[in-house]
Structures are given as structure tokens and as C-alpha cells.
């Protein structure tokens, strides 16, 4: 089919499934909380988070138990106690609709081809695959992906100008504090491989079916979360802070420069501006990935200019 990549062809097969799940979205998928804040009718819904103290990073032995491969262990260590000031954070990842409004209002165009993996297993920039069409079906309520770090900050800057409030990307410390929502383990819920699919959208059996060339790699979960690709934000239950999809769905950019460990990391809520500032930490794991990446402590990094169809963001706002 002209104009449709092999990747896109596989995605189209999933449109009916995605649609049927959308129609059956549970009540908590709708924004009903009265304690959240919207600075304009189409602005992201923000959840106030009280400050506090928490232990950031992976506990000794956690990565081994969770099957993290040896070559990526130790990034979330050493653990340390961190003091967090109050902030607000997006209840959801920034959506396609929200990002579309920003693009329309500013006339800014992002046409760079997005990195994605085709069903042939090749990861490349496919022509025509952009945030508007990441190569699989999305609704306006799905998280925007294929957006690089500069573009995510551009959206935050526009929103700040529009509202008079200060929107920005979260620091890693703020992100992890919000993702943990008071929990201390691998995830804020039981990490049973059989039931993980009730909690997050990750690389599950639905994805394995879409990417048959990867079926034998044993990298996917053993359950079916119902989504081969991204899911509408809020399709999975919130954590104790009322936040959805902190783990799974889209990976999320943070403000922090990449550093391979927590040696010398800040002990407060501020971002880290030492290390490799050509790359930024990304958090939460995503729809394409092995379950061990979707853990509260796991850290990865991407170049600031990288746009990938697994990677989106959510914003925080100063009080
Ligand atoms: Ca999935
Ligand atoms: Ca996420």
C-alpha cells in the first residue's frame, strides 16, 4: 500500500481492538477528580502533590529479582534520601490533542521523521512517520510520541506564556516521587508477571503478536494488556497520587542531564545539570518494552534531539 510502511500495515490490524477497548473505557478513565487543577479548558489536568521525603533509587537486590540485565544495572544506585518541595504534575501524559493545539496555535511544524521499529526488526526513521502519525492507530487521547526533548520544553514554554504559570519538565526526583506515590518497591502495585497487564501498558502478548519477528525473544510479558501500541491516557488505574501511566504507555522525558549512576546526585527536588547534558533521563518504560523497564526506579536516556515513537512526556507546574 502506497504511503504505509510495513510497520504501519501491522498497526492497522489493531485498530478494531483499540476502538473496542476505547468504547469500553471504565469510569475512572474520565477526569472526575475535583482536587485537580486546569489553568484553561484545554490545558493538561494537574494534580497537586504535597512535598515530602522519600528514598530514591533501586534497593539492593531489586534489579536482580526483577530480571534487569547485568549491563544496565546500577543506574538507579546508590539509593539516597531526597526532599521534595510541593509541585503539581500532569494526571496524564500529554496527549495528541493537547500537543495539536500547541502546534496550531504557534504555527510551529515538526516534520522530522520519527524513529520506529518496523515489523522487519529494523529501527530507522521511516518517511512520513511523525508525531501526527507514529505508525500505528492513535486517538486524540493517546499520549503524543515522536516528540524530542526540545519540543516537549517548547510545549511547556507555550503553556506557561498562555497561563501565566510556570510549566516545565519534571526533575527525575519529582518524577520518581510521583511514580512511587508513597511506595518503596519495584512498582506501586504487586509485581506479579501474570497480573501486570491489569496495571500498565507495556510490551505484552498483544505487542508480541504485532511483532512476530520478536516472538521468540522471551522479552515480553506473559499476559495481554489489551494494547499492542499506545493506549488512551487513563486506560489503566491511577497510583495513590491519582496519576495514570507513570509506568508504561509512553516513556517520559525529564529535565535531568544523563548521569550513569546516582553518585553525587541532588538530595532535593532540583534537576541535575552535571553529566552528559546532550542526553536527558527518560523514565517509566513504555508500550514497546520489557516489563523490567517499567519500574519506579528504572532510568534510561536519549539524546535531546531524539524523537522515538515510544517517547512522550508529562509536565509539572510550580505551585
Ligand atoms: Ca501493551
Ligand atoms: Ca508513561
Summarize pLDDT for 7-18 with one digit per residue, the tens. Answer: 444 444 444 343
CA angle 162, 165, 167 (to 5 degrees): 90
pLDDT for res 215? 59
* Contact (Cβ atoms closer than 8 angstroms) between residue 130 and residue 113: yes
Q: Provide the pLDDT for residue 29.
A: 36
pLDDT score at 18: 39
Question: Which ligand is in closest contact with the Cα of 179?
Answer: 2
CA distances from 251 to 25, 116, 312 (A): 22, 14, 6
For 67, 78, 213, 250, the CA distances from 219, given in Å and listed in that order, are 10, 27, 12, 18
77, 83, 50, 46: which is closest to 64 by C-alpha? 77
Nearest to 38 by CA among 48, 46, 30: 46
Pairing between strand 115-117 and 87-90?
Answer: unpaired
Can you give the pLDDT at residue 161?
A: 98
Q: Which residues of 229-257 are buried (b: 16+ CB within 10 A; e: fewer)?
A: bbbbbbbbebbebbbbbbbbbbbbbbbbb
Taking the centre of ligand 2 as the mean of its atom positions, its distance from the CA of residue 313, in whole angstroms, is: 7
Cβ–Cβ under 8 Å, residues 42 and 103: no
How many other CB atoms are found less than 10 A from the CB of residue 159? 23
Between the CA of 160 and the centroid of ligand 2 the distance, in Å, is: 22
Structure confidence at residue 34 (pLDDT): 52
**Could you tell me if 36 and 88 are in contact, meaning their C-beta atoms sit under 8 angstroms apart?**
no
Distance 175 CA to ligand 1 centre (A): 22
> In the 8-state DSSP scheme, what is residue 170?
P
Cell of 184: 518503596
221 Cα–ligand 2 center, Å: 17
C-alpha of residue 221 to centroid of ligand 1, in Å: 9
Query: Which bound ligand lies closest to the C-alpha atom of 204?
Result: 1
What pLDDT sits at residue 23? 35
| 93-83-38 Cα angle (round to 5) | 35
Note the pTM of the prediction, 2 decimals.
0.89
CA–centroid distance, 183 to ligand 2, in Å, is 17
Q: Are strands 167-168 and 46-49 parallel, antiparallel or unpaired?
A: unpaired
At 119 the pLDDT is: 67
Ligand with smallest separation from the Cα of 284: 2
What are the per-10-residue average pLDDT scores of the chain (319 residues)?
40 41 36 75 97 97 95 97 98 98 91 84 88 95 98 98 98 98 96 92 91 67 93 98 98 98 96 97 95 96 96 98
Amino acid at each position: 500500500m502506497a504511503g504505509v510502511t510495513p510497520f504501519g500495515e501491522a498497526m492497522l490490524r489493531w485498530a478494531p481492538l483499540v476502538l473496542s477497548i476505547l468504547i469500553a473505557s471504565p469510569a475512572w478513565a474520565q477526569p472526575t477528580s475535583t482536587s485537580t487543577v486546569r489553568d484553561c479548558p484545554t490545558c493538561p489536568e494537574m494534580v497537586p502533590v504535597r512535598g515530602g521525603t522519600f528514598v530514591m533509587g533501586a534497593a539492593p537486590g531489586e534489579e536482580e529479582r526483577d530480571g534487569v540485565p547485568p549491563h544496565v544495572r546500577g543506574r538507579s544506585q546508590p539509593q539516597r534520601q531526597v526532599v521534595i518541595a510541593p509541585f503539581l504534575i500532569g494526571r496524564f501524559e500529554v496527549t495528541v490533542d493537547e500537543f495539536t493545539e500547541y502546534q496550531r496555535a504557534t504555527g510551529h511544524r515538526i516534520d522530522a521523521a520519527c524513529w520506529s521499529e518496523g515489523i522487519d526488526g529494523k529501527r530507522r526513521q521511516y518517511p512520513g512517520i511523525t508525531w501526527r502519525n507514529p505508525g500505528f492507530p492513535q486517538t486524540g487521547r493517546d499520549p503524543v510520541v515522536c516528540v524530542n526533548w526540545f519540543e516537549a520544553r517548547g510545549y511547556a514554554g507555550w503553556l506557561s506564556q498562555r497561563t501565566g504559570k510556570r510549566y516545565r519538565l519534571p526533575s527525575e526526583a519529582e518524577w520518581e516521587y510521583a511514580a512511587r506515590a508513597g511506595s518503596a518497591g519495584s512498582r506501586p502495585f504487586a509485581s506479579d508477571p501474570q497480573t501486570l497487564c491489569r496495571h500498565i501498558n507495556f510490551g505484552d502478548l498483544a505487542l508480541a503478536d504485532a511483532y512476530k519477528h520478536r516472538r521468540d525473544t522471551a522479552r515480553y510479558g506473559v499476559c495481554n494488556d489489551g494494547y499492542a501500541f499506545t493506549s488512551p491516557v487513563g486506560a489503566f488505574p491511577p497510583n495513590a497520587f491519582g496519576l495514570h501511566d507513570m509506568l508504561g504507555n509512553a516513556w517520559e522525558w525529564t529535565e535531568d542531564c544523563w548521569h550513569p549512576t546516582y553518585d553525587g546526585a541532588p538530595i532535593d527536588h532540583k534537576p541535575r545539570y552535571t553529566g552528559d547534558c546532550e542526553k536527558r533521563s527518560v523514565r517509566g518504560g513504555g508500550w514497546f518494552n520489557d516489563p523490567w523497564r517499567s519500574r519506579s526506579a528504572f532510568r534510561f536516556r536519549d539524546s535531546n534531539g531524539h524523537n522515538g515513537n515510544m517517547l512522550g512526556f508529562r509536565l509539572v507546574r510550580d505551585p
